Structure 1
Amino acid sequence: MWKTAAVVAVFAFTLGYLIQSHSHLPSHVLGYFSVSNSLKSEETNPTPPVFEEAIASAWEALISAPVHQWKRIAVGVNACVDVVVSGVRLLEALALAPGRGSDHEVLESQEDLMEAFLHFMERGAAAERFFTDKDVFLSIAQAAAKDPSAQLYVGGNAALMGQKFASYPQVTVLLCGPIGPKLHQLLVDEIIVPPESLQETDEFHLILEYQTGEQLGVTKAPQANRFIFSHDVSNGRMSALETLAASVEEFQPDLVVLSGLHMMEGMGKELWKERLEQAVVAISDVRNHVPIHLELASMTDQDYMSSIMQEVIPIVNSIGLNEQELLFFSQAGRGPHWELTTWDGSPDVGRVSDILLWILKQHGRSDPSSEADLTRIHFHTLSYHILATVDGYWGNQVAAVAAGARVASCQACGVQAVDVQKVILKSPTEFYSSYSEPREQLKLDPNEPVTFWSRDNVTFYMTPVLVCKQPLRTVGLGDAISAEGLLYSEMMSDEFQRPL
């Protein structure tokens, strides 16, 4: 007893000295200490999440609507029904032996599925693959349907982003994609679906989720995520792209959001090469009328990615992507840090900044004389987000990046507002603006949680994510992040200023 009392006395004396002699210390630091708590009560009452509280509060002050808001948004072209199941439980039900993980560009068998799932589960990374054998895919889908916990949701980047846009009453949304009866039922009533997009059957995608610490064989997930696969021909051919392009003149959108290019990868080089040429023509027609945001997704074919980089990226105004897609982008184009095979834990902020700048220089309009349109990139990873924009083209980006991070926390936890007891700060608190010299050392200030820096004529806006400790659902987080970021963004270029 006397030892405990002595420790408490020393602690109280030390704390008193700190408060007296270091009154300049920030309140969020002093807030960690409380002279009224004994050591025992500290054990039963954990320290309150001071940094998380400060960040969540600061976000609310920073997030304000842009002066000119989007009112009509056309979205396409991938849409489906997501069948969400436990990946571990489904693969165990298929009686497959969990061996070593290995990536596959396309899946041709159940064994390929097991190996690819283990490969990405071991890294806690998201991925999406095409399953070539229709009959085997259907047999797996039937096994998934027998799982009593299986759930059906709106799926496909375009449909998910459309749902998020439509949650704002001031926005009218047109969705072009393969819309079957079940998907049409799941969509909110506010979404307009052109008759040309309706079809008799739905496209189904299987979403194999896993939780932090979940194990299959010897593989253990370091964080929660999901693996997606499908045998989806309608989305694979981007069959609704021409419908989207044709709708622009009649619908008169302020913004077009495009996704689904990754679905063509599994169709084979001859088909995707021909279809990509047609897609470029359709996108070029749209770009003459309205700005375009392109949402990227998981791909594995470097030739295909290179074609997208050269032909599509320069004719869109904005792109959204995660850490896997960013690194693959650099690998396909031999950009900065392309020699990395994967990120080692959380992506290094300096390396991410290097690649973002390279994209805007090589494929965007960082040079005012460039004919490229790309001026904005929204990067998101588990622990932080970065918005990189060419100066003079986009406004309200501090609010936009904060809004994207806020929705990531809320949607993952299934809450309307950030609950600081359910989230944790995993973002680096000190980082560099570049991986190599010249570089600036930067620090996270929880009371001003959007850090920004400039390189050439590109400004970077970085904010941490308050990561949900026990996420309810990981599918669609990237789409919600990009959609929310767009809703709080405005384009400043006179080229696309329209009467509002």
Structure 2
Amino acid sequence: MWRKAGCVALLALAVGYFYHADPGLPQRLLRYVSPQDSPSTPSLERAVSGAWETLITAPARRWNRVAVGVNACVDVVVSGVGLLQALAADPGAGQNHEVLHSKEDLKETFIHFMERGAAAERFFSDGDVFQRIARAAAEYPGAQLYVGGNAALIGQKLATYPQLVVLLCGPVGPKLHELLDDQIVVPPESLQETDEFHLILEYKAGERWGATQAPQANRFIFSHDVSNGGMRTLEMFIASLEEFQPDLVVLSGLHMMEGMGKQMWEERLKEAVVAISDVRNEVPIHLELASMTDKEYMSSIMQEQVIPIVNSIGLNEQELLFLSQAGSGPHAELETWNGVPDVGRVTDILLWVLEQHGRTEPSSEADLSRIHFHTLAYHILATVEGYWGNQAAAVAAGARVASSQACGLQAVDVSKVGLKAPLQFFSSFSEPRERLTLNPNQPVTVWHRGNVTFLLTPVLVCKQPLRTVGLGDAISAEGLLYSEIMPQQP
């Protein structure tokens, strides 16, 4: 008996000693020594899922009319390895190309991201070659056509709620119009004779091509999209708001201009700021970011005051780190995240964005007061005090839809998901920092830094995801649906 007690005491001392160097150690030990789903002890996944259902409640004031713009297209989803093989490409070494000029560039960039299991999006400069690849993709066995583009995907998700009227403005061709929910209103000016196609090359966890093996499932997106690339429908979108009278505006598509050349996007970005500034002050604007590679372009998005004139932004871990790198923010020295992004580092960057470009001070002229961050293992909502309500429900709702949609289900199935979020973490990477613990029975952890509130919830990660495209858009849409903006004193 005394030997067993001694072992337990020694284990406790060891865990305490190593916790400072590795706060995730207790979680791994817990999973190693504890039964995960015995009849008497519910699994961590079941506890989180059950707690979400209690926590996720509708806001006191709901949106009635939401306007979404301006990037829309048809997504052609196909096996990445299969399509490249059909194009007679041979496996080889990966190399990152910021703009794709040829089939060889496509192959090398796809391999570069496949071997990292990372998502990416690129512009294909040669329209003729792209059309040939697009035809091959559409004819490839098993290829599927879906609604595509952040704006259209967010609109499609919002339209699943029958009490909402959704306006979608963007380049809508005949195939996309056919795929859109009947509840979505498309202005006649948005309709065009041909569709814009985006090719989504998917790969599975463990899939091999030559010497390359994917560590996790993900996708690589590329297109030659001139309509979305120039945000040609932006002014039309803003003009339509006067008649539509929305409660909320959701904007996306800035990333599409990156591949159009500096001279073009410099001028267009200034015009975009003028157009966005025409939205009535009392109508909140959410900006959905997406994958970008040009630091000068991202810096211009900040310097030209795009981020400060919106109220909310949504982004993932790659976009958050790139934003910090472009603005010389915290942890900009990191080339990429190593595994699950460190919560403390993520929090440092989120706070920096809100302090540099947001309304953390009452005297600030900026409007940004909310950031919805999502990564595979967890989500964080960072909000300035006094501007947003029901945010615990919002962050939980975003995580819940990520868990269910990735598995192709309407609800979370705890047998098909796993908890990968750390159960212990720090509120900052540097001092002063607070040690925090995730309680699966109360799965939204809340902490404060200055007048910014952070809310973290884990994601129940789908073990065998069926489709990863559009998850970020669904997460942001769901988070917005459960959010409410607080009235401000004049």
With normalisation by structure 1, the TM-score equals 0.90
Check whether the contact 1:103–1:119 (CA below 8 A) recurs between aligned residues: yes
Check whether the contact 1:49–1:420 (CA below 8 A) recurs between aligned residues: no
Over the matched positions of the two proteins, sequence identity in percent amounts to 75
1:287 positional shift: 4.6
Residues 93-152 of structure 1 show CA distances to partners (whole Å, capped at 9, x for unaligned) of 122122222211111111111111111112211111100001111111122122110000
Distance 1:326 1:388 in 2: 13
**Where does residue 5 of structure 1 map in the other structure?**
none
Distance 1:297 1:207, change over 3 A: same
> What is the one-letter code of the residue matched to 1:114?
K
**Where does residue 216 of structure 2 map in the other structure?**
223
Distance 1:371 1:100 in 2: 49
State whether structure 2 residue 383 is matched by structure 1 residue 389.
yes
Structure 2 unmatched ranges of 5 or more: 9-29
Distance 1:356 1:105 in 2: 26
> What is the one-letter code of the residue matched to 1:110?
K
Distance 1:329 1:450 in 2: 26
Moved over 6 A (4+): 45-49
Distance 1:103 1:33, change over 3 A: closer
The equivalent position to 1:434 in structure 2, one of 428, 434, 439, is: 428
State whether structure 2 residue 258 is matched by structure 1 residue 265.
yes
Distance 1:102 1:65 in 2: 46
Distance 1:33 1:245 in 2: 55
**Where does residue 211 of structure 1 map in the other structure?**
204
Distance 1:425 1:215 in 2: 26
> What is the one-letter code of the residue matched to 1:199?
Q
Distance 1:91 1:452 in 2: 46
Distance 2:210 2:317 in 1: 27
1:495 positional shift: 6.6
Question: Alignment partner of 1:421: what SS?
Answer: helix
1:237 positional shift: 0.7
The equivalent position to 2:169 in structure 1, one of 164, 176, 179, is: 176
The equivalent position to 2:488 in structure 1, one of 469, 494, 500, is: 494
Distance 1:85 1:268 in 2: 28
State whether structure 2 residue 393 is matched by structure 1 residue 399.
yes
Question: Alignment partner of 1:123: what SS?
Answer: coil
Residues 412-431 of structure 1 show CA distances to partners (whole Å, capped at 9, x for unaligned) of 01111100001011111111
Distance 1:68 1:274, change over 3 A: same
**Where does residue 47 of structure 2 map in the other structure?**
54
State whether structure 2 residue 300 is matched by structure 1 residue 307.
yes
Check whether the contact 1:32–1:47 (CA below 8 A) recurs between aligned residues: no
**Where does residue 445 of structure 1 map in the other structure?**
439
Distance 2:448 2:312 in 1: 18
Distance 1:354 1:144 in 2: 42
**Where does residue 77 of structure 2 map in the other structure?**
84
Distance 1:448 1:313 in 2: 33
The equivalent position to 1:278 in structure 2, one of 261, 271, 296, is: 271
> What is the one-letter code of the residue matched to 1:337?
H
Q: How many residues align?
A: 464
The equivalent position to 1:422 in structure 2, one of 413, 416, 424, is: 416
> What is the one-letter code of the residue matched to 2:134?
A
**Where does residue 198 of structure 1 map in the other structure?**
191
> What is the one-letter code of the residue matched to 1:260?
G
> What is the one-letter code of the residue matched to 1:71?
N
With normalisation by structure 2, the TM-score equals 0.92
The equivalent position to 1:344 in structure 2, one of 310, 316, 338, is: 338
Check whether the contact 1:32–1:50 (CA below 8 A) recurs between aligned residues: no
Question: Alignment partner of 1:256: what SS?
Answer: strand
The equivalent position to 1:480 in structure 2, one of 474, 479, 485, is: 474
Distance 1:221 1:305 in 2: 28
State whether structure 2 residue 454 is matched by structure 1 residue 460.
yes
State whether structure 2 residue 75 is matched by structure 1 residue 105.
no
> What is the one-letter code of the residue matched to 2:92?
G
**Where does residue 470 of structure 1 map in the other structure?**
464
1:479 positional shift: 0.0
Question: Alignment partner of 1:125: what SS?
Answer: coil
**Where does residue 355 of structure 2 map in the other structure?**
361
**Where does residue 287 of structure 2 map in the other structure?**
294
1:238 positional shift: 0.4
State whether structure 2 residue 230 is matched by structure 1 residue 240.
no
Distance 1:88 1:62 in 2: 42
> What is the one-letter code of the residue matched to 1:263?
M
RMSD between aligned alpha carbons? Answer: 2.2
Structure 1 unmatched ranges of 5 or more: 1-9, 19-27, 35-41
Distance 1:373 1:495 in 2: 14
Distance 1:149 1:33, change over 3 A: closer
